């Protein structure tokens, strides 16, 4: 009962009912119009033929007198057909014709009358309806000419019943279709509602069923699913950040606490205290940096920033950052080269992209040195290329690179490769690069270190490339 009430109150059903009535009304109008026009036409035809027949007969009377008229009427009455004749004299006595029972009320002025009469068709008697007109001929003769109109009436009846039947059918079919359609819609919408309840209950991996039909409900389901996907990713990111904070920030905090406790336990000495405090500041500096980096990654990664994109001069961007790191590179026998060419300018957030490039250079300086670093100079190449739509910014070093198997993992937060532990770092550098690239609608690409090593002398180097979409507005499709 409840489901029936739900069905009857559903939008789809209401729409169906409304459309059914609109259709029924227009069908009634069309059929009514046809009925009205046809019956008008048929009636006029009857009247036309009666009138011309009467004219003809009155001419016969004028030329041949009453005898000729009687003859002609007798002749015509004998011929089979729908026409009815009756000629009466001044005392209303029948003189000729094929109407055997004279209808009453023939007196009066010439007019149209309708009456029932007995019709003999090949000996068969049948009651029929006639429409006739009275004419008064000179000499006080009354002439009645008419036609059987039973056919006409029958036709009218057929049309009327067609009208009512079709209206009835339209109503029944319309309501049935309405119920069916709204049942189907209700089933799909109930399924969506069930999915969303499940999602609300905490199962974020649940998705709304897509039928694949591509209709409007399906498209709604698709965009809802895309939205759910994004929400799930964001929540996943949040969860990862809080997990990361729990795991990786607790370690330095514990270290900090242990050191302070150890100093407090030891013999009091200004020198010990100073040393411990300085260490503490150092450690908390590292914590703050890590924290800031984490927040920046989370914020950039969530795409929540409100930074406006500007047109960045490529040469200035790469030149500035290379110049910032040049002395540092020089100190470890490395060289930073900006490869000319590429786009003159592109759209993006200068600060974020600079920071990402800085992180890549930082990595290159730490891990990307040539194997024979004493004799050969390490070269770090900064290069920008474009195909119009995408801008590729790459940092190439002379090191052994990141193995293919590790390449996806290093983009995660706090991931540091085994070989990295000799250098200080938080494991957040590449995560920020990945977040910045995603923020610009792109992805990070690595070269295959094995493949480039196989090339003659391994001279290609290992490059990390930020492929970003060159768009003025970050959120534009």
Partner 1 sequence: MKLLLIEDDIEAAEYLLKALKEHGHTADHAVDGEDGLALASNEQYSVLIVDRMIPKIDGLTVIQTLRDVDNRTPILILSALSQVDDRVKGLRAGGDDYLSKPYAFSELLARVEALGRRINPESAQTEYVVGDLKLDRLAHIVQRGEDTISLQPREFRLLEYLMLHAEQVVTRTMLLESVWDYHFDPQTNVIDVHISRLRAKIDKNYKTPLLHTVRGAGYVISEEPR
Whether the CB-CB separation of 435 and 416 falls below 8 Å is answered with no
Would you count residue 351 as binding partner 1 (CB under 8 A)?
Answer: yes
- Binder among 362, 385, 412, 448 for partner 1 (CB under 8 A): 362
Stretch that binds partner 1, among 176-184, 205-213, 236-244, 323-331 (CB under 8 A): 323-331
Rounded Cα distance, 457 and 455, in Å = 6
Would you count residue 358 as binding partner 1 (CB under 8 A)?
Answer: yes
Stretch that binds partner 1, among 86-94, 186-194, 285-293, 404-412 (CB under 8 A): 285-293
- Binder among 84, 87, 130, 296 for partner 1 (CB under 8 A): 296
- Binder among 281, 339, 408, 451 for partner 1 (CB under 8 A): 281
Would you count residue 237 as binding partner 1 (CB under 8 A)?
Answer: no
Would you count residue 327 as binding partner 1 (CB under 8 A)?
Answer: yes
Which residues face 114 on adjacent strands? 131
- Binder among 94, 103, 305, 458 for partner 1 (CB under 8 A): 305
Stretch that binds partner 1, among 151-159, 163-171, 190-198, 319-327 (CB under 8 A): 319-327
Stretch that binds partner 1, among 143-151, 155-163, 347-355, 381-389 (CB under 8 A): 347-355
Would you count residue 253 as binding partner 1 (CB under 8 A)?
Answer: no
Give the nearest distance from C-beta 174 to partner 1 in angstroms: 58
- Binder among 232, 283, 320, 445 for partner 1 (CB under 8 A): 320
Would you count residue 328 as binding partner 1 (CB under 8 A)?
Answer: yes
Residues in the site for partner 1, rule: CB under 8 A? Answer: 281, 285, 288-289, 292-293, 295-296, 299, 305-307, 320, 323-325, 327-328, 331, 349, 351-352, 354-355, 358-359, 362, 365, 425-426, 429
């Amino acid at each position: 009962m409840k489901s029936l009430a739900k069905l009857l109150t559903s939008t789809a059903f209401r729409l169906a009912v409304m459309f059914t009535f609109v259709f029924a009304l227009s069908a009634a109008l069309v059929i009514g119009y046809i009925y009205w026009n046809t019956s008008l036409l048929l009636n006029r035809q009857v009247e036309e033929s009666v009138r011309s027949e009467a004219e003809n007969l009155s001419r016969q009377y004028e030329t041949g007198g009453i005898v000729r008229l009687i003859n002609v009427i007798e002749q015509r009455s004998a011929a089979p057909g729908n026409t009815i004749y009756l000629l009466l004299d001044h005392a209303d006595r029948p003189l000729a014709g094929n109407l055997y029972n004279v209808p009453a009320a023939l007196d009066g002025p010439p007019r149209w009358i309708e009456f029932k009469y007995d019709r003999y068709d090949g000996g068969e008697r049948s009651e029929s309806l006639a429409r006739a007109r009275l004419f008064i001929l000179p000499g006080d003769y009354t002439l009645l000419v008419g036609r059987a109109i039973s056919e006409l009436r029958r036709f009218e009846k057929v049309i009327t019943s067609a009208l009512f039947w079709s209206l009835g059918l339209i109503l029944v079919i319309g309501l049935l279709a309405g119920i069916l359609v709204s049942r189907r819609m209700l089933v799909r919408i109930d399924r969506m509602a069930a999915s969303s309840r499940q999602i609300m209950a905490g199962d974020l991996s649940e998705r709304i069923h897509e039928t694949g039909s591509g209709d409007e409900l399906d498209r709604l389901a698709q965009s809802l699913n895309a939205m759910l996907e994004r929400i799930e990713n964001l929540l996943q990111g949040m969860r990862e950040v809080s997990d990361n904070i729990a795991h990786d920030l607790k370690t330095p905090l514990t270290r900090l606490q242990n050191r302070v406790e150890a100093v407090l336990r030891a013999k009091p000495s200004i020198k010990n205290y100073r040393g411990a405090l300085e260490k503490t500041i150092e450690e908390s500096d590292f914590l703050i940096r890590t924290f800031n980096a984490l927040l920046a990654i989370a914020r950039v990664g969530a795409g929540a920033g409100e930074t406006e994109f500007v047109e960045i001069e490529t040469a200035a961007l790469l030149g500035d950052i290379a110049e910032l790191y040049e002395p540092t590179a020089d100190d470890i026998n490395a060289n930073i080269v900006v490869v000319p060419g590429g786009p003159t300018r592109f759209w993006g957030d200068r600060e974020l992209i600079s920071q990402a490039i800085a992180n890549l250079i930082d990595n290159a300086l730490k891990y990307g040195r040539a194997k024979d670093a004493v004799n050969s100079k390490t070269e770090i190449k900064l290069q920008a290329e474009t195909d119009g739509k995408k801008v590729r910014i790459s940092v190439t070093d002379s090191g052994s690179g990141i193995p293919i198997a590790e390449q996806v993992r290093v983009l995660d937060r706090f991931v540091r490769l085994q070989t990295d532990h000799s250098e200080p770092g938080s494991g957040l550098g590449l995560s920020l690069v990945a977040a910045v690239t995603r923020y610009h609608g792109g992805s990070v690409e690595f070269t295959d270190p094995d493949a480039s090593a196989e090339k003659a002398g391994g001279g290609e180097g290992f490059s990390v490339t930020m492929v970003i979409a060159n768009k003025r507005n970050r959120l534009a499709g």
